Structure 1
């Protein structure tokens, strides 16, 4: 009996790290094998889970609807997502939502090469849900925790070459993972600042 494919874990990641990623790979020659985006902290991601502020939507399609959405994380960095006829639910959400709004998005990373030879990465959303500020704040804390865990594993494996994805990230990216520790600190500080502003206004 054929094994039932399990859905990949949706990785939590801040936009700074996501946008620095650009290397994709498969783990088998099967044409239906999942495509993974390699995060610079040494984690593979077939799906991601993001929560942020939807700041802009636009139909950028020519012959048919093709919606672009911009989701900004607490650091002010942007995730770009695109949904068309093959993502009808996500496309209708982007058509109907009025920015700004907090949204939770589960989707697949997609990469494309620009005319200049740069690799850009975007999200192909599977689902888009409106959420409240508390949900966004919880995502920030959990994403900070996951990111720190990845950074620690990355740094610990400098002594021993035990993690194949960390090794791959070292080969593919020449990026200091401390960049992402700063993103974590800034994101958590933004929550503290918001709390301080709320207390000052009450």
Structure 2
């Protein structure tokens, strides 16, 4: 069986994921599906090992790694984990900056997620920052694709050359999570790098779109307004509410069904 690639993923996306039920096949791997459509078995993460616990007569170790967006719960078993990984964790004195590769698993009745450590080492701040940049770039690409999927559908992504299995994972995430929370994810990424978010007024954005999308002087189509508003980072679930508010304030009107014009 080919080894799964290790995804660079932030803790906040990892912990917002769903553990996929197994189908009953022999030696079946564990997978999660993230809200942004990544189907993941292995991850590569970096952060501060904040604490650890040694239990079961020194045969099992758990720990917490903080990557600034949240925490990963990690574990290693003396009888099953690679010896180097076990030895490092056993001797580590938190807090210590680390980079690690691990496989996803769930534990407990509530199906909490953690990582079974495959390899782990101490690292410096440059390694951690490089990991953070790569993880952010990867996430931003998934956000971009999810934005397209939520407005333009599966066939559009397939037509752009994305693989069918990857697109299927995107659509699975949309079906299971319903709301991709793109605005929240973008805000979190900005916060990671200390980027101050510009104050934006969703009503002002949609009002501007109504004017921009009125190509023939007859008004802007509802579908076009929704598609472009989502691309601007406005959550789909809020758009109808904002349009209603603009109508009530007399800033736009509806000359015909689902056609809007600025006043």
What's the TM-score once normalised by structure 2's chain length? 0.64
Structure 1 moving runs of 4+ over 4 Å: none
Q: Give the RMSD, CA atoms, in angstroms.
A: 1.9
Which residue does 1:50 correspond to in 2? 45
* 1:1-202 → structure 2 map (5 Å cutoff): 5-25=1-21, 30-59=25-54, 61-75=55-69, 77-85=70-78, 86-87=80-81, 88-114=83-109, 118-158=110-150, 159-162=152-155, 163-175=167-179, 176-189=181-194
Please list the CA deviations of residues 90-122 of structure 1 after superposition, one character each: whole Å capped at 9, or x if unmatched: 2221111111111011000111343xxx33110
Which structure is larger by alpha-carbon Rg, 1 or 2? 2
Q: Is contact 1:23-1:172 (8 Å) kept?
A: no
Contact 1:71/1:78 (<8 A) preserved? yes
Answer yes or no: is the 8 Å Cα contact 1:65–1:84 preserved in 2: yes
Aligned residues: 180
Contact 1:22–1:119, Cα closer than 8 Å, also in 2: no
Bigger mean CA deviation after superposition, 139-148 or 160-169: 160-169
Higher RCO (CA 8 Å, separation ≥ 6 residues)? 1
Does the aligned pair in 2 maintain the 1:22–1:111 contact within 8 Å? no
SS for the counterpart of 1:40 is coil
Say whether the 8 Å CA contact 2:42–2:102 is kept in structure 1: yes
CA distance in 2, matches of 1:58, 1:23: 25
Inter-partner Cα distance in structure 1 for 2:18 and 2:84: 27
Contact 1:19–1:121 (8 Å) recurs in 2: yes
- Provide the rounded CA distance (Å) in 1 between the counterparts of 2:36 and 2:116: 22
Match of 1:197 in 2: none
Structure whose residues are more often helix by fraction: 2
* Aligned counterparts of 2:71 and 2:10: Cα–Cα separation in 1: 9
TM-score (norm. length: structure 1): 0.82
Task: Give the Cα–Cα distance (whole angstroms) in 1 for the partners of residues 189 and 94 of structure 2.
Answer: 25
Structure 2 gaps, min length 5: 156-166, 196-263
| Alpha-carbon shift at residue 178 of structure 1 (Å) | 2.9
